[in-house]
Amino acid sequence: MISDPQIIDPYRAIDEKGVRSYRLNRTRQLLTQFKMDAAVLFDPLNLRYATGCRNMQIWTSHHLARYVFVPVEGPVVLFDYGGALHLSDGLETIDEARPAKSWDFFGSGNRAEEHATKWAEEIIDLLHSTCGRGATLGLDRADLLPLLALQNRGIKMKDAKAPMEMARSIKSADEVTIIRNSMDVCTQAIAEMRKHTVPGVTENYLLSIMNQYNLEHGGEAQETRLLSSGHHTNPWFTETSNKVIENGEMLVFDSDLIGPDGMFADQTRAFVIGDKKPTDQQRQLYAHAYEQLEHNMALLRPGMTFEEFGELSWKMHDIYVPNRYAEMIHGIGFGVEYPVIYYPEDHETWQYSGTFMEGMTVCVESYIGPVGGDEGVKLEQPVLITKDGPVPLTDCPFEEDYQ
């Protein structure tokens, strides 16, 4: 377990082979805990976690043309897109690479069911030869045609999302350093974007600056388009547009960058554009958002249950409640991960049980936007949970004179 805050030193040397070994071992341990003998992982994040191999992650997130067979004991077999088998050369986590079989209609047409059956037959043969007949297979995605083919052949199946989320939720010391390095690139991308934030430029232009910096420094992509200004900030989730930003407006952005090594750099900040000082209303919105962020972040301790956190969390003013954000806390790693902690108002519908653990990396969220208000403020801070409490994973500054 992680206990030393110094492990987030960005200059720490990374044992890449050690990271891959840790992740594959975690995958196997959690599959065992959830009573699965093997799993087929389609999700590009799970596949990368278990093997360290990536290939066209965005494309393969909606075309299931890449997957990996991970047994609790036995060889790991990667099924990669045609012509890409060389990508796993030299990776000790992968024992064999084979061409992937696809059944997507765009590639299979009226032969989709036939191709799905052939996919299932190969997986069943691998499952039986590696784990024995009667073995239980985990799937992190269940596309209809291959699922039916497996069911028709009597294969016992379970949802592999649970063990994979739990496996990914506890970070090793090297993983924390990798996250911190990605956060550093994000912080610098934000600083570069702020240099170009002057009245008259568009939201799209500013978003492009962050993306360019991220890509130039080893980053990979962006998960959302959430940089907005003025009236686009309330309610939240208005996507970045060609709107021209104006002097005195509030600019709010959720970085949501996939940085170096595939780590999700999730930082949210807000500030007033141009040479005008923030209005009293803007100061109040910012102060409440920052107060909520600091209050909730200070609560985080190993052993605290999700229910306890909800009870002790910052009490939101009634006028902000209808526009509240989706959650107060979410895990972070390759993307948004387990756990998610919802607002008390949503506990009856959504909140599940669980406990914060040492080694979790999470983002603390706040959105303050009054119903019918002109603007809103969103802030977010990623932290590592240690035995002594939360440790920030970024030094991206807040607006001290707004609070």
From first to last of the 403 residues of the chain, give the pLDDT tens digit. Answer: 333 434 445 556 889 999 999 999 999 999 999 999 999 999 999 999 999 999 888 888 888 889 999 999 999 999 999 888 898 999 999 999 999 999 999 889 999 999 999 999 999 999 999 999 999 999 999 899 999 999 999 999 999 999 999 999 999 999 999 999 999 999 999 999 999 999 999 999 999 999 999 999 999 999 999 999 999 999 999 999 999 999 999 999 999 999 999 999 999 999 999 999 999 999 999 999 999 999 999 999 999 999 999 999 999 999 999 999 999 999 999 999 999 999 999 999 999 999 999 999 999 999 999 999 999 999 999 999 999 999 999 999 999 888 6
How far is 110 from 9, CA to CA, in rounded Å?
Answer: 55
Counting every residue, how long is the chain? 403
CATH code 3.40.350.10 region(s) in the chain? 5-168
The strand pairing partners of 347, in sequence order, are none
Please, how many CA atoms are within 13 Å of residue 356, restricted to the half-sphere of its CB? Answer: 29
The strand pairing partners of 137, in sequence order, are 38, 157
Which uninterrupted H or E stretch holds 291? helix 280-299
CATH code 3.90.230.10 region(s) in the chain? 170-402
How far is 33 from 43, CA to CA, in rounded Å?
Answer: 20
Local structure of residue 274 (DSSP, 8 states): T
Q: Which two tokens stand for residue 216?
A: 């130039």
Strands (E), 176-306: 221-222, 227-229, 250-254, 257-258, 264-265, 268-272
Strands (E), 266-388: 268-272, 329-332, 336-341, 361-368, 377-386
* b/e sequence 87-114, b meaning 16+ C-beta within 10 Å: bbeebebbeebeebbbbbeeebeeebee
How far is 340 from 365, CA to CA, in rounded Å?
Answer: 11
Class of domain 170-402: alpha beta
Give yes or no for a contact between 394 and 363, defined as CB atoms under 8 angstroms apart.
Answer: no
Q: Is 352 helix (H, G, I), strand (E, B) or coil?
A: coil
Give yes or no for a contact between 334 and 343, defined as CB atoms under 8 angstroms apart.
Answer: no
Confirm or reject CATH 1.10.1040.10 for domain 5-168, answering yes or no.
no
* b/e sequence 153-183, b meaning 16+ C-beta within 10 Å: eebebbebbbbbbbbbbbbbbbbbbbbbbbb
Which uninterrupted H or E stretch holds 323? none
Reported pTM? 0.93
How far is 286 from 386, CA to CA, in rounded Å?
Answer: 28
Give yes or no for a contact between 143 and 64, defined as CB atoms under 8 angstroms apart.
Answer: yes
* Cα angle, residue 341 at apex, residues 339 and 344 outer, rounded to 5°: 160
Please list the alpha-helical segments (H only) found in 73-172: 105-108, 112-131, 144-152, 161-169
